[in-house]
Structure 1
């Protein structure tokens, strides 16, 4: 029989002090050995000694004797009730509530390891108000009167469930399976705790119970009950499986996994991470002794926080059947652990080896017997010391109130219910250095260790501590784990396993829920244009900050670079060079005209207007430099205003020239009264009036909503456009509209006067120039609106240059050709002759 029988049988331990002589049926005070009066340390040592010696004196013969074929009888309620009532009987005589002769005085009971054991024993022991210390998981007590006598050595369930959830979230195991034992704790876990897991993003592929088995189930029944559940678990895509059970649940788990072999279900158990609750421990029956242990390799479990206790190994090494006189259990354990028969038994067969009694426990594999102290062992150790310290406090209190009777000291009598006050106030540091005390819920204020199971080919295993749940730690350190120390199952190639319904969505993608599937199951869709996801498994994509833009993979934001039409780029250099060249040309034409100002061709059509027009064109070429370079406040204020006023002066000059030509022809007719209108005053009036209207519009623009430097973050994906915000788009288009109106009027008047008989009639040249001008600016509007960033500025600069060149070329180059290339034509006689020929 394996260690399972040693620690899983009903450990209802009496904490006793023996009386020298007690006569029945008279009542008597609680006895104590007087040698323990001298020192508190000796007193505690003596009480603990009595606890361990109780295993030598407790009577097992009156209890039902389990057969070797049915070791699980120790789990039966009847056995638990019998053991509880035996504690209330005289030694050797099973008469409940009747204790006589030299007796053991019951002050507390340690119960476990299953929660229902504590529930059964509470039915009886609570009637007598006897303190009960369950070292396993405490039962769900609906009866408050019974719960009042329960002192929970097992820490709070809440902390363990919180630890399981944090463990799953830490490793991002959000697609999980759950197997649980169908008892009160298991149902509470499923109904109340799993819902909180779901709130934190964890969902479940399956939630099933272990197949129902009685303590006398046959192997065929176990096999049949496990097949369906085994198939469900093994074929699940969930890699992390939470197993919620009791101390013997590993036996059921091994049967569950074994069932897969009978039906040839693909064995994927090695590709599972079993997460075991602290109530569980490695237990097995003799049938499973030679079964493979590899299923638990890499598993993670919770265990009551424990430390190494000095002397525990030596204590175990000293155990043998000969040293445990009267303890039938030790003999049974020895026989089944070492596979031999004791010489004192009559069950030995010819095939069985005879036990020498000198076999060493440390020679047994870990699957049969563990030499180290487990969480359950540590809880028993803690429970014993809790009772010992409470007794010490109670006896110390009694010694202060001695009563004198018959000439000798007698201690005040105390009943079991009076022991509760001392138990609740227990607080001490045990020999391992842990502070032991009860909290307000009468639970030991302790945490849990996170254990990594590592198996070896020799059927032994190692429990490695890799983490901790410490409720006393600061909030950010309650859960701690050392991931680098964890040994995973061989099937995962020492890489942390994933437990997901589907592959994670990579950065640049977002999750989209699958219809009809749990929320952990989803498809991956690329982020919409302009958005990114920089993390895996994001539910939605997000936009980059305004000064950044998504990269090609949509998983990273890149810094936008600032864009404007600068002198350092080819486009800016080209436009600046063109503006400078055309400015030089306009200035050259002006100088040539001024040098030849007295020639007939220059004097024709009002040379002053020609000078004004040439200066306007020169300034229009130069104003384009306000558009090139980093936008600043002064250039932004001036450039559109300057452009609008200069061009209005230029078009006004063209209009005045055209009007003068038409009126001059009309005035030459006999009897015409238009002579009084033809002259310089009319020309200057036209220029001033038209320019004044544009100036008024621009002034209103500056007053109401002036242009200013601005950043455009959104027009271009990868650039921040540094531009001059027009302030009021309406005013901007009013300026352009007024220029268009002047150009249209000039074109119309020039078109009407293009065939007038004049030697140097500019009307036809003005018609071509206005046609070019209007074509340029009509094309400008849609082009300007369809471009973005610095190219909008470039379009406007190009339009200014093109329209100005059109005016300069069409109006002045024909005259310049005559002045420079054909000076013989630039005479008054030549002009008169040509005029007579036309007439």
Structure 2
């Protein structure tokens, strides 16, 4: 029974043919009116001239009233005017469709699916009382439909038109689902796929380094699919989603309150609103009520350039926001056309008087001031429309004749259909695209034939832009980025601040003019939107367990490491010859360190060395001059000469330790030092033994008297020196010293030093010098009580004590220092020990020679010696 009733209803509904009903069944249809212009070929157009629908109360006791439209929309009406202008431009063209006149049937869909379907049926049936499934055009049918504005209206229209492959070209419906050619085979659009703008938004977020953002999206297919794709893109760029909230399509203050609480409690400064305008107003009103002005709102195409917000407080809340919108196009002559329209010129335009009333806040004489929903209700000081009002006095923010975005898309849609018709009209039989090369008749063709041509169009529009469709009926993504700026006088303006072109090479797609952006409060500083503050330089990000990657702690990079420039969660160790800069951002070559003459320490030691060398040469010169005096001849003056010459070379050998080490200096400096000091110590030992032998010769009972004639001191120096030379040769043969770049000695510095080759052999060389010094000290100490006149043993004892103290202190100091300080310690030890020998042994004699020459005589020495011997 139920099936029979439904079938009867459908049969009855479908048999209302051109106003004649089938006997026994009659279906009442709503009368539809629009703006029509006759032509050889007619185009249909759906435009949301009004924004809202007033649903009549249904009582079931009387016939339902028609749906009433309210809230006239200036911008959407401009879309309709753009189609009128485009058709006029084509009809006046000599190159496009010559001798063919285009007409149109334009319908106000009031941003409502039901009204859109009614308008579609009206355009297709050709009757005011539209007849579903029937074409009642007497001469020519509509070739294609331009529209509609919202995706929610275009989808059901596209499903119906797709059954007949009837071309539909939308200028504003961005729903990604409409790209599915299996479901919508005859749908095309001059606006980009809504999913494409997700890439522009994600890139914009990445450009400003906003890593912690919130997302609010409509509870619709477009909102959900777009939000999922947007989340994926942001996370792929390293960002995180602070929160994602769904805004119901139907008004729900409970959801609005919940979302406002989330926004207020979130650290996210940037909020992406992927919603349509109709379900966003309540949220924005509540946000303005809570004075949420410290957020940056990023708007999608569906609302970013809307001026439909009823309260100024909302504009204050949105001040500084960014919006994605189709590119601003150029339509030559449209501005002049928009300023030239008048009800008297276009009497068939049923919307123009309503536009006039809303634009100039007046009422045409004869209108019902209080019941006509198309006119504003004026409670006092009612002004009558005179027709003399000037359109160029209207605020451009209300009636914009400069910026054409969706208006430009309408223009492209009409011209796309016109070019397809033109190609159909110029088809050469036998070379056509259809079976056996046939062509279609432009005045009597099938819808699918025109659809074929529209899919293949490729032309440059009046602005020079290339227009074409891809396989899904979409156009490439090219969007403008606008900044919503509110001025102190209360006016607002959308300022162009950049663009995103998906056709450009990757990396050059986003173009931002940052200096033109004004954020909320007039601040030019880009606001931060992060979960955790950026890490200081040289610190890596350490994720917090249980948190998203954008929430982290900052951990300093270890010593010798820099922050990985490609992964800020890791640090990289610098190569051995490099060291991080102060910011730990890049590795720099380590500074090279060695004891140089250019620095204070090196130059000071060199000066001291040369000074003592000159002093030693002065003493040597004095001894040469006074070589015949007893004090010089005492204790073997040849040994004194040799000791002084050795001290000169000892002071000079310290210079080999200063300067950049090289192969030669590393090989010879320790050897020279060891040999020279071995000579000095051998001479001192020989002098000490000489003193002992001399005094032993004066004592007949001494057992050492027999050794005086053997001239033992003469052999001590060469023998002791040869032993040291032999040790040095073994050292050089077995483990030759070499230049070494020591990276570990001083942190962050490369120390150029000499590696001694073999620590054992180096210790043997130093140990042998220590042995000579010890023997000299012991022998001098045992002979310290000999008579003063010929006795140098006290001075030698002091000099050996100084020598021993210096080198015993040198060992721990040498081992505890690194780099050039270690070299300086050794130089200091060489100079100190040499100076100790010079001062202790020779300065007393120089004092006598220079200041007490009477003591430097044979009589004085002989008398003193006799007294010392008890004579």
TM-score past 0.5 threshold: yes
Q: 1:180 to 1:575 in 2, by over 3 A?
A: same
For 1:268, which of 281, 286, 292 is the aligned residue?
Answer: 292
For 1:171, which of 185, 203, 208 is the aligned residue?
Answer: 208
Q: Tell me the CA shift for residue 242 of structure 1.
A: 1.9
For 1:243, which of 273, 280, 287 is the aligned residue?
Answer: 273
Q: Distance in 2 between matches of 1:351 and 1:592?
A: 126
Q: Partner residue of 2:282?
A: 255
Q: Distance in 1 between matches of 2:99 and 2:699?
A: 144
Q: Partner residue of 1:299?
A: 321
CA offsets 1:272-314 (integer angstroms, 9 cap, x no match): 33222223354466x8277663344433222222322122223
The answer to whether structure 1 residue 226 and structure 2 residue 240 are counterparts is: no
For 1:810, which of 837, 840, 864 is the aligned residue?
Answer: 840
Q: Distance in 2 between matches of 1:714 and 1:156?
A: 61
CA offsets 1:590-623 (integer angstroms, 9 cap, x no match): 4555566677766665554444333222221232
* Greater CA drift, 466-475 or 378-387: 466-475
Q: Distance in 2 between matches of 1:689 and 1:156?
A: 101
CA offsets 1:361-380 (integer angstroms, 9 cap, x no match): 55554565433454222112
Q: Distance in 1 between matches of 2:861 and 2:441?
A: 157
Q: Partner residue of 1:798?
A: 828
Q: 1:834 to 1:800 in 2, by over 3 A?
A: farther
Q: Partner residue of 1:823?
A: 856
Q: Tell me the CA shift for residue 570 of structure 1.
A: 5.8
Contact 1:134 1:151 in 2 (8 A): yes
Q: Tell me the CA shift for residue 386 of structure 1.
A: 0.8
Mapping of residues 325-336 of structure 1, within 5 Å: 329-330=351-352
Q: Tell me the CA shift for residue 756 of structure 1.
A: 6.7
* TM-score, scaled relative to structure 1: 0.77
Contact 1:366 1:459 in 2 (8 A): no
Mapping of residues 342-421 of structure 1, within 5 Å: 346=368, 348=370, 353=382, 356=385, 358=387, 362-365=392-395, 368-397=398-427, 414-421=445-452
Contact 2:299 2:324 in 1 (8 A): yes
For 2:148, which of 112, 115, 122 is the aligned residue?
Answer: 112
Q: Distance in 1 between matches of 2:824 and 2:541?
A: 44
The answer to whether structure 1 residue 310 and structure 2 residue 332 are counterparts is: yes
Q: Tell me the CA shift for residue 431 of structure 1.
A: 1.0
Contact 1:84 1:121 in 2 (8 A): yes
Q: 1:432 to 1:736 in 2, by over 3 A?
A: same
Mapping of residues 185-584 of structure 1, within 5 Å: 185-210=222-247, 212-214=248-250, 217=251, 221=252, 223-234=253-264, 236-246=266-276, 249=277, 251-260=278-287, 265=290, 267-269=291-293, 271-283=294-306, 288=310, 293-319=315-341, 329-330=351-352, 346=368, 348=370, 353=382, 356=385, 358=387, 362-365=392-395, 368-397=398-427, 414-455=445-486, 461-489=492-520, 491-501=521-531, 504=534, 518-521=548-551, 571=601, 574-584=604-614
Q: Tell me the CA shift for residue 648 of structure 1.
A: 1.4
Q: Tell me the CA shift for residue 390 of structure 1.
A: 0.9
Alpha-carbon RMSD: 4.8
* Greater CA drift, 193-202 or 382-391: 193-202
Q: Tell me the CA shift for residue 776 of structure 1.
A: 0.1
Q: Distance in 1 between matches of 2:596 and 2:137?
A: 112
Q: Tell me the CA shift for residue 54 of structure 1.
A: 1.9
Q: Tell me the CA shift for residue 114 of structure 1.
A: 2.5
Q: Tell me the CA shift for residue 389 of structure 1.
A: 0.5
Contact 1:40 1:392 in 2 (8 A): no
Contact 2:681 2:773 in 1 (8 A): yes
Q: 1:501 to 1:826 in 2, by over 3 A?
A: farther
Mapping of residues 607-622 of structure 1, within 5 Å: 607-622=637-652
- Which SS does the other structure have where 1:54 is aligned? strand
CA offsets 1:769-808 (integer angstroms, 9 cap, x no match): 2221111011112223444555444332221122112223
Contact 1:133 1:150 in 2 (8 A): yes
Q: Distance in 2 between matches of 1:123 and 1:836?
A: 140
Q: Tell me the CA shift for residue 519 of structure 1.
A: 3.9
- Which SS does the other structure have where 1:107 is aligned? strand
Q: 1:556 to 1:473 in 2, by over 3 A?
A: closer
Q: Distance in 2 between matches of 1:432 and 1:819?
A: 111
Q: Distance in 1 between matches of 2:77 and 2:463?
A: 26
Q: 1:593 to 1:486 in 2, by over 3 A?
A: closer
Q: Partner residue of 1:161?
A: 198
For 1:54, which of 105, 128, 133 is the aligned residue?
Answer: 105
Q: Distance in 1 between matches of 2:557 and 2:262?
A: 36
Contact 2:122 2:131 in 1 (8 A): yes
Contact 1:118 1:138 in 2 (8 A): no
* TM-score, scaled relative to structure 2: 0.75
Q: Distance in 1 between matches of 2:669 and 2:561?
A: 37
Q: Distance in 1 between matches of 2:364 and 2:765?
A: 117
- Which SS does the other structure have where 1:777 is aligned? helix
Q: Partner residue of 1:32?
A: none
Q: 1:182 to 1:703 in 2, by over 3 A?
A: farther
CA offsets 1:338-396 (integer angstroms, 9 cap, x no match): 55555565564695647637355555545654334542221121111111101111121
Mapping of residues 732-771 of structure 1, within 5 Å: 732-752=762-782, 754=784, 760-771=790-801
- Which SS does the other structure have where 1:173 is aligned? coil
Unaligned runs of 5+ in 1: 17-35, 64-70, 404-408
Q: 1:114 to 1:792 in 2, by over 3 A?
A: same
Q: Distance in 1 between matches of 2:634 and 2:92?
A: 140
